[in-house]
Chains A and B, each alone.
Chain A
Amino acid sequence: MPEAPANPMPEPQYATMEQQADTAAFGMWVFLATEILFFGGMLLAYTWLRASYPEGVAEAGRHTRIVIGSVNTLVLLTSSFTMAWAVHAAEHEQRRALVRLLAVTALLGLLFLGLKGYEYHTEWTEHLVPGLNFHEESAHAQAIELFYFLYFLLTGIHGIHVTIGIGLIVVMAVRARRGAFSSRYYTPVEVTGLYWHFVDIVWIFLYPLIYLVGRSGP
């Protein structure tokens, strides 16, 4: 890919580079609005489950891996910080910093997925996977099974989003390394950042709903 021109021109349908960048960001926000509803349906199912079987959900919540969940929250929050810092670096044409920060963000995403995979493994060995090997002796076994069904659905789809985000960030890092961006044109980095922050926000809500429920109980 050639070096970015010092004075890039907008595509023909835009009057200015600013208008083009605003339109791209607007498109991502419209997509994110649909993503809110995509996760919203599953969160509604969770809300119903928790309202209907509060004790079963509390017991299930105490089964979850609080240490892995909390460390993963720390990892994703930190990755959002490095992503925001990367966008700042792009804006100020700090190319090396941009590439490094994107790489760190992608690595933090991989760390998140690795920890999540280890967590899934422990849940498999403890027979907590509904439909495959769920076995639970508790009086609330049915509600616990429903909780774990939603747990795998929510974290699984969130994990797919993290995977897509890592892919986008790696593409951005490669393009940044080749000099595709300048202070006048870094829209792809910014829009990728919006997506990554959204995935972080989804986790910000999943964390208390999955890991913190029932912790103050017996």
Chain B
Amino acid sequence: MKAPPLPLLFTWAALLGLLAATLGLAYVPMPGPMNVVVALGISVAKALLVLALFMKLFRAPALTRAAAAAGLFWLAILFALSATDYLTRKVEHAGDLPAPTGREHQPGNR
């Protein structure tokens, strides 16, 4: 069996390097939301490597790239429009709240 093509080999090595990096960095305390930002940033980098070199997306016809972009576009809409609801609710969570029962505001229950 012939040796693997070097671009694929390098991509694999880069993916494993990024895996080691994200695993190590997860144990480093960072301010605010930086841990999840770093973790997802590394995931995006890994996904781009797979898309570009394993799936050859950026060498695909324009129509194919448009289909892939459409998936991400609608995902962004899903998250953005949902965020306009959930992120604007003023609910202060203190640990685990009991589930609402629907009887909170009945007369004689104040």
Taking CB atoms, residues of chain B closer than 8 Å to A83 are: 54
Q: How far is the CB of B96 from chain A (nearest CB, A)?
A: 4
Taking CB atoms, residues of chain B closer than 8 Å to A213 are: 36
How many residues does chain A have at the interface if contact means C-beta atoms less than 8 Å apart?
Answer: 57
The reply to whether A212 and B23 form a contact with Cβ atoms under 8 Å apart is yes
The reply to whether B86 and A51 form a contact with Cβ atoms under 8 Å apart is yes
Q: How far is the CB of A40 from chain B (nearest CB, A)?
A: 5
The reply to whether A78 and B12 form a contact with Cβ atoms under 8 Å apart is yes
Bound state CA distance, A66 and B93, in angstroms? 28
Chain B interface bracket (under 10, 10 to 19, 20 to 34, 35 or more): 35 or more
Bound state CA distance, A74 and B64, in angstroms? 29
Taking CB atoms, residues of chain B closer than 8 Å to A142 are: 96
Interface status of A168 (Cβ within 8 A of chain B) = no
The chain B residues found within 8 Å of chain A, CB to CB, are 1-2, 4-5, 8-9, 11-12, 15-16, 19, 22-23, 26-30, 35-36, 39-40, 42-43, 46-47, 50-51, 53-55, 60-61, 63-64, 67-68, 70-72, 74-75, 78-79, 82, 86-87, 91, 93, 95-96
